[in-house]
């Protein structure tokens, strides 16, 4: 005989229809976190990192308490936003590794990296100085170095990249280009010059 569930849950004192499954709560929490990061990313880009946290919560259509449950301080939110930016570069590297042209893949990723430095460096530098920031910078640099190294190795294997060039060389040069504060057109020109310098002589013309 089928038993019908009636009354309240002895553990929670709530009717079964009011009990939210743990999996649902986790899914909702992750959705809110993702929404807060995306909203903060947009507002930071538009107005800087001093945007009031309650405005970020309001724009994301979540309660202030929800924001502070995920990010206790502004610094924690900035870390999450910048970590997402770094992960964009990592995912881009994985996607470009699947392409058919190793030379073009490397050039495309270096362009993304240079624009990342030009537009996101100040965001990272707003974090309070100290051991935690140093550790985070080391972790983020390692992620970007690994992403670049995979593309560099593939370009080497294809004979599209000078044998004496390593990932750290290209990251340093692209970083320097990004810090020139040139316009987007100016950055593109310098990145093209960089590409002309690291490509193997006689390689197919760049696109």
pTM, full prediction: 0.80
| Backbone torsions φ then ψ of 38, nearest 5 degrees | -65, -40
Dist CA 35 CA 59 (whole Å): 10
The residue extents of the domains of the chain are 20-72, 75-200
The hierarchical CATH code for the domain 20-72 is 1.10.10
Q: Summarize pLDDT for 51-99 with one digit per residue, the tens.
A: 999 999 999 999 999 999 999 999 999 999 999 999 999 999 999 999 9
Same CATH fold, 75-200 and 20-72? no
Dist CA 207 CA 155 (whole Å): 16
Cβ-defined contacts of 49-56 (< 8 Å, 24+): 49/74, 49/78, 49/123, 49/126, 53/77
Q: Summarize pLDDT for 136-182 with one digit per residue, the tens.
A: 999 999 999 999 999 999 999 999 999 999 999 999 999 999 999 88
CATH fold for domain 75-200: Tetracycline Repressor; domain 2 (1.10.357)
CB 101 within 8 A of CB 155: no
Three-state DSSP at 199 gives strand
């Amino acid at each position: 005989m089928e038993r019908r569930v009636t009354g309240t849950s002895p553990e929670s004192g709530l009717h079964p229809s009011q009990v939210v499954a743990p999996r649902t709560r986790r899914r909702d929490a992750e959705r809110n976190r993702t929404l807060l990061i995306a909203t903060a990313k947009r507002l930071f880009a538009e107005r800087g990192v001093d945007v009031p946290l309650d405005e970020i919560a309001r724009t994301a259509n979540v309660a202030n308490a929800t924001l502070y449950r995920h990010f206790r301080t502004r610094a924690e939110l900035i870390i999450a936003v910048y970590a997402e930016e770094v992960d964009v570069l990592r995912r881009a590297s994985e996607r470009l590794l699947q392409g058919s042209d190793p030379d073009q893949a490397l050039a495309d990723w270096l362009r993304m990296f240079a624009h990342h430095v030009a537009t996101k460096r100040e965001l990272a530098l707003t974090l309070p100085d100290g051991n935690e920031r140093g550790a985070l910078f080391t972790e983020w640099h390692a992620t970007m170095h690994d992403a670049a190294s995979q593309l560099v190795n593939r370009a080497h294997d294809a004979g599209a990249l000078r044998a004496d060039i390593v990932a750290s060389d290209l990251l340093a040069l692209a970083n320097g280009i990004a810090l020139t504060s040139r316009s987007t057109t100016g950055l593109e020109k310098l990145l093209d010059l960089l590409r002309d310098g690291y490509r193997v002589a006689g390689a197919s013309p760049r696109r």
